[in-house]
Every structure is written in structure tokens, then in C-alpha cells.
Chains A and B, each alone.
Chain A
Amino acid sequence: MPNTANTDIEVKLLIQAIYLKYSYDFRDYAGASQKRRVLHAVRQLGCSSISDLQARVLRDPDMFMSLLQYITIPTTEMFRDPAYFMALREEVVPFLKTYPSLKIWIAGCSTGEELYSMAILLKEEGLLERSIIYATDINPAALDKARKGIFSLDRVRAYTANYQQAGGRAAFSDYYTAAYNNALFDRSLCENISFADHSLATDSVFAETHLISCRNVMIYFNHNLQERALGLFHESLCHRGFLGLGSKETIDFSGFATQFEPLVKPQRLYRKL
């Protein structure tokens, strides 16, 4: 890539422009993937350059919303890494059952696949009624999808295997109604879910929680932002609260390595010390 220095400057300026105009803070996202997403967006949105994209984004909030869908990467599936959910059932649920009421935070819930997975798991473990689930994300379009709970039927059917490997007790299809090509997840799963706009880069802790699940979000952060996010999680968690990360994420290279103990290290489940 010739002129890589120019590209880096243009990305930086774009991110700064977004911050100044829309108050979305992407300044501490991991550089390599951010650059790729921006270049991808330039191509997909028909811009002649990153600077052209920046000019349009500044003038047009809709353009910004479109760009947002490229910068925030919604790759997700239900019961993703089934072993994680199995470990939640086996190692974390027994502790959760000792609380009369629970607060659970799905940080970076994206389009809701993980959120509904968690709600189903809690329901099957008899914990959903006593729980409030906070589902937060910076992307309003993703939150909207998550609220609606409508996913492609083909994809949902493909998640059945994940659900079963995650220790699912029922028939997966019990949780959704199929219509045309879509699956609509049971609205009762949402009764205790509170959806909210929240940025791990700029916002503060909003509740004391017992379990935080933040999976494959912090891989897109640089060290600084990961540190900030872990700080929020540490502050939010109650005494001996639980933190779950994505299958290849770790706190080992952060300042919080000594503030959590691994509970089930292979599944990235930690407990606040």
C-alpha cells in the first residue's frame, strides 16, 4: 500500500471528525482492523477517498450511521462458542442461584444474538425471573435489531447445534416463531431486558452487576481502551462478581491481570478478586 502514512493520517482525521461532530469515540480502537474497516467503508459507500468520506460524514448524519455499521463489526451468532455457555451453566450459575436478585450486563450486545442466548440460558436455569439484563451497545441500529429479536430463520436453525452443545434443555425452536424467512424470538425473554446506548470509551458504570459478558468487543480496542473497559467492569461488578470474555480474549496483558482470578480459563471466565 503506497502512501500508507497518508492513509494513517486520513483515518486519524476521520476518527477525530466523528468524535468532534457526533461524540462517538473511536480514537482508541485497535489500528489495524479500524483502518481496514474504514477502507472497506470507503469502497462500499462509494467514496473517492477517506477524506471524501469524512466530508460526507460531517455533513450527513445518515452517512455517519452507515459508516457506523462498518466500524462496529457485528459478527455474532447465538450460543457462540458453546463451551462458554456450558461453563456458565456449570461453574457460574450455582453461584448466581444464591442471589435473590441478579443484574447481568451484556456489554456490546450488538444485534442481540448473545443477549437472547443468555436470556434462554437464564430461563432454563430458573434465573430469568429474578434477573435484570442490561444490553448495551454504541450502535443504535444494532440495538434496534436486538430489541426486535428477529433473525434470519436459516441462521437461527443453524444455531440449533450450538444451543444443544451449550447444554440446552429444550427444543431450540420452542423459543422462536418462524414466519417466512424469519425467526421471532419469544417476547417473554425480553421482559427483564433493559436496552441502552452505552459507550465503553466514554460512559461510566451505571449499575452494580453480578455477571458481565463482553465477548469479542475488546479485541477491537487498543490497550488503553481495553484498560478503561476492564476498569468499568471491575467497578461495576459486585464482590466476587463474574466476567466473561470472547474465546481468544484475555486480561493477561492488561493492568487488571491481578484483579481477577481465572475461574474457567479456557472459556475466558474470570472472577473479581
Chain B
Amino acid sequence: MSTSSERKIRAIVIGASAGGIKALLVILKKLPASFRLPIIVVLHVPEDRESKLAEVFQYHLEMKVQQAQDKEWIKPGTVYFAGSGYHLSIEQDFSFSLSCEEPECFARPSIDILMQSAADAYGTDLAGFLLSGANHDGAAGLASIKAAGGFTVVQDPAEAEAAIMPQTAINICRPDRIMTLHEIHLFIADLENTYGN
């Protein structure tokens, strides 16, 4: 990793769709409660009902898990899930904002919107991960992270339950790494030590 010695990862953003819950559990499950980086996740959820992802994941994870709220300040050591029916953005003051703009790639919340806003806010200090999914959401977002100098990782399409999302991202964005879920888990667990604050 060429510029790794200057980089200080301050946040992690993850996007996933079909197959995403299982993939996220592999990645996040054994992260200790003391893990300091905030992890912000957009997992596509149906618009018409409340998302229970935060509850489900809190049951399985040691880290604190919450649904991201509008105007909330991003806190270290917390996993945030986007709620249903609203786009989730990160503002330049590192707070969340929600919006009701049109769906993008038929998705609301959109992974692209989270990642593009995160890239604007965190610049080089961001690691973005794109996992299993059956549409193109996230490819442009990951490309934004890369363009802003952040670190980008895509799940190996061969392993992904739905390969379209990671494959599209690989084609469009040329991520820094292609990894299996297990490798992603180890990489994230190590991020603090190697690159964290």
C-alpha cells in the first residue's frame, strides 16, 4: 500500500445489497467492543417498513450498533445502519443527514450517496468496502472514495452471493483490493493498529 504510511483511516463505509446481511456478519462479528473507528453501513432495505437491522446486528456484534439519525454526530466505535426510505449522507462536520431525494439505482438509501458524501467529508482518511449485491449501486460511490484518495476494497465476486455489485465496481473503479469476507474482516480489525488514530 503505497501512501499507507501517511494515511490515517478515520472512518469505514460499507455498502451491500442481496446477500449483504450474511456478508456483514462475517466482517463485523468479532470486532471487539473497543474497536475505535466508526463504521457506517448502507444495506438496501425495503422502503415501506422500518428497518430492524440495528437491532439484529446489535444482537450479534460486540460493538455498539445504532440506526443513523439525522443531525447526529458520528461517534467513534459505533456501527451505524441507514434506516429505510431516506438517503443517508455524511456532512463535512461529520454529522449525518437524511434526505428524501429520488431513489438512485432504484435504491433509497443509496450506497453511492453515502460513499460520495463520505468521500467529500473524510477525503484520504476513509476506507470504503463494497460487498455482495444484485445492482450497480455503490460502484460510482466507491470511485468517488478512490478519487478523493481513500482506500477501496471490493468483495471477491467469486465468493459473493450476488456478484453484480462487486463486479461492476471492479470494472468501473479498479479498487485497491479485492478480498474475501474473511480477509476483509482481518483487514478491518487491523485497520486501527496499522492506520488508526
- A residues within 8 Å of B by Cβ? 1-2, 4, 8, 30-33, 35-37, 73, 75, 216, 218-220, 222-223, 226, 247-250, 252-254
Contact = CB atoms under 8 A, between A and B. Distances in A.
A248 B98 CA distance: 8
B135 interface: no
B88 to A, nearest CB: 10
Q: Which 5 A-B pairs have the closest CB atoms?
A: A32-B89, A32-B117, A75-B100, A253-B71, A33-B99
A254 B72 CA distance: 9
Contacts of B98: 219, 248-249
B113 interface: yes
Q: How large is the interface on B (under 10, 10 to 19, 20 to 34, 35 or more residues)?
A: 20 to 34
A4 B69 contact: no
Nearest to A220: B99
A35 B69 CA distance: 20
B91 A32 contact: yes
Contacts of A4: 119-120, 147-148
Contacts, number: 77
B71 A248 contact: no
Given A30-B91, A31-B91, A33-B99, A1 B71 contact: no
Nearest to B92: A31
Residue among A30, A216, A219 with the highest chain B CB neighbour number at 10 A: A30
Contacts of A250: 69-71
B66 interface: no
B144 interface: yes
A248 B147 contact: no
